[in-house]
Every structure is written in structure tokens, then in C-alpha cells.
Amino acid sequence: MSTPHNNANKGDIAKTVLMPGDPLRAKFIAETYLENPICYNTVRNMLGYTGLYKGVPISVQGSGMGMPSIGIYSYELFHEYDVDRIIRVGTAGGVADSVNLRDVVIAQAACTNSAYANQYNLPGTYAPIGDFEMIEAAVNAARKLGIKAKVGNILSSDIFYYPKESDLPKWAEMGVLATEMEAAALYMNAAAADKKALCIATISDCPLKNEFTSAEERQLTFIQMMEIALETAYFFEKNCM
């Protein structure tokens, strides 16, 4: 079985999938952390791999950038490949004063300026939230690894380059920690499919402070985020086998 975006066969993909936006980051995770990783997808170079992490199967696949892209890939994983859990691992821009470069943020919820929820024809405003059990597992994993992760609300925006003065300070006033471009769609897809999802993000820049990380610093920080996600995935795979 395959889809227009994924040439994996049924059974090639584990029940838990890590999803970085960059497919090369998926390749890095697979080759660095998974035992005997097998590439199951090369369509559009959106690479996907399955291997063993501490003896349990874990998959990792790129999602691309933005809510439409992660919306497609996560939908297919949930509905066509029987994936139960997706953990987004990506970068975010720090918004709150308390958030600094290289911090790891676990997204309890995801505000959005996107119209993605319109497809559900809901009589109100939907609030996309992460799965509590996954949040709890990620927090515990971070503590065991000695990583101080912040838990809170983020903004999933359709805008990367704001054409006028940024409205990010207004989101900060409402307690939003960071901004990225995918989590809200992932959370909505998971809710609609009765599946589980979580976003773990690393702060790669703080636009309101005009602070940015170097490529080397981003690589080192990504590793912390990956390890939290892998330990979270391991927890569920071990306990659900």
C-alpha cells in the first residue's frame, strides 16, 4: 500500500513516529539513534525510516514546513498506516521574556492564526492541545536526562516573514512561550483521528530580543530535543507492545 506522498507498505512504520520538519534531520536521527534503520519513504525526498531504539521499533519522518504539509503527512500516517502517536521535533522562535535561546519547549497547547480548523465545521473556536500522557512522559524524560524543559502554550503561525510590525508581543502578553508553524494542525489531526500527538521544540531564535543561534549551536540543542522525544517514544512503545 502507498499514498501519493509515501511509498511505505503497511507495517513498515512503527506505532510512534518522530516528525522533524527537515527530512535530512529525520535521516540524522535515524542514523544516529536507531539500530538498523530502514528507509521506507523517498517520495518528494520526504525521507522516512524505521529502526530499533533500545530494542523497540521507532519511526522518524520529515513533515515539511507549515500546517498544510504536516497536515498531509500526519493524516496519512494516522489513517493509512495505523500510526498511534506522532511527536513533532522542530525549532521555534522564543516569544515570552522567560524563554531563551536553546531552551526546550513542550507544547501543552497551540494557538493559531490559521484557518485549518474550518474543515471541521465547528460552531466555535477549537483549542488544539497536546496529549496529556505524552506531555507527562516527555516531562519525565526531560527530568531523567537533566534537561530543563518549559511546558506551555505556543503559537502555530502561517506566517514566517511578517510583512508589517510583528504581532508577536500581543501573543506574549497572553502567555504564549514560542512560535512555530506546524503543531496546531498536528494536534487537530490527532484529535480528529482519536490518536495522540505532541510537539517538542527547541528555541533557535528570539525575534523580539533580536537573538539567534548559530548552525553549530542549533545542532547541539537539537540533540537534547531528540533525546527527549526518543525516550518518550520508547516509553509508549515499551508499554504498548
What residues are annotated to the active site?
205
Dihedral sign computed on CA atoms, order 82, 151, 230, 46: positive
CA distance 69 to 214: 26
Q: What nine digits make up the cell of 26?
A: 529525520
Q: What is the DSSP letter of 12?
A: S
Contact (CB, 8 A) for 63 and 20 = yes
Cα(230)–Cα(34) distance, integer angstroms: 10
Compute the residue count for the chain: 241
Burial profile 105-134: b = 16 or more Cβ within 10 angstroms, e = fewer: bbbbbbbbebebbeeeeeeeeeebbbbeeb
